[in-house]
């Protein structure tokens, strides 16, 4: 049986409390349990986490943008550690890797090591983005997916599909169930930033966008079921 290698992209808000701040550990445990129940011998799973529940950019216009991004990267490390701990609690074998060296708390990201861990059935969580400012965690997800030869990126969101317009603001929106990377760029659809979409297009990595908040959607997405919007 051939294995599927999946890169799951979780926003910081996916782990947050209802007010969007901090970590809701019950919510994180639910995500960890869904991953544990779904990932078997035929699935290899890596995860990239954002940091929006702790840091959403410069708190004032005087802050240096590089400093702001460095703070954001550290926020993703906290989320990576929290998710890693939850996965251990439910019995998963997990490794947390960061692109900024912090050897006392996590492994430094090395591509070959990450791939070997995946092949051994470990869940690998990537923190700290790509380790450089000016790049989003979505771009980190696209880059890591390309580096580990992932078959697909699963982007967990709080909406059911990709839409032609924001359904919260407009009534004449249309649901998009399937589209191309190029069309996402041309139509400026709000899926991922341009760098992330371009990386996925250049490396032929499909993206499935789905609603994490719907019951069992994470399990369905990992299993490869047709939910949400697919971009390929």
Question: Any idea what the Cα angle at residue 96 is, between residues 40 and 197, rounded to 5°?
Answer: 80
- Within 10 Å of residue 20's Cβ, how many Cβ atoms? 11
Distance from C-alpha of 118 to C-alpha of 131, rounded to nearest angstrom: 21
Contact of 154 with 7, CB cutoff 8 Å: yes
The string of pLDDT tens digits covering residues 132-144 is 999 999 999 999 9
Give the separation between CA 142 and CA 136, rounded to whole angstroms: 10
Judge if pTM exceeds 0.85: yes
Question: DSSP letters of 104-124?
Answer: TTSEEP-HHHHHHHHHTT-EE
Q: Are 85 and 49 in contact (CB under 8 A)?
A: no
Tens digit of pLDDT for each residue in 49-104?
999 999 977 666 788 989 999 999 999 999 999 999 999 999 999 999 999 999 99
């Amino acid at each position: 049986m051939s294995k599927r290698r999946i890169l799951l992209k979780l926003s910081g808000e996916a782990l947050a409390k209802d007010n969007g701040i901090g970590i809701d550990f019950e919510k994180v445990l639910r995500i960890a349990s869904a991953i544990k129940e779904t990932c078997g011998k035929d699935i290899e799973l890596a995860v990239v986490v954002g940091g929006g529940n702790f840091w959403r950019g410069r708190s004032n216009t005087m802050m240096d943008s590089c400093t702001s991004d460095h703070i954001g990267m550290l926020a993703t490390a906290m989320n990576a550690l929290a998710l890693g701990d939850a996965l251990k609690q439910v019995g998963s074998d997990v490794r947390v890797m960061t692109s900024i060296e912090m050897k006392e708390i996590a492994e430094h990201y090395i591509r070959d090591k990450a791939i070997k861990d995946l092949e051994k059935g470990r869940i690998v969580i990537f923190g700290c983005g790509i380790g450089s400012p000016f790049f989003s965690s979505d771009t980190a997800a696209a880059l890591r997916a390309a580096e580990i030869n992932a078959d697909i990126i699963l982007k967990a969101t709080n909406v059911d599909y990709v839409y032609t317009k924001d359904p919260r603001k407009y009534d004449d929106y249309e649901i998009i169930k399937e589209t191309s990377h190029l069309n996402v760029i041309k139509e400026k659809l709000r899926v991922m930033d341009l760098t992330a979409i371009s990386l996925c297009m250049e490396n032929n990595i499909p993206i499935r966008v789905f609603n994490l908040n719907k019951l069992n959607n994470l399990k369905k997405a990992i299993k490869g079921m047709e939910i949400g919007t697919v971009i390929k």
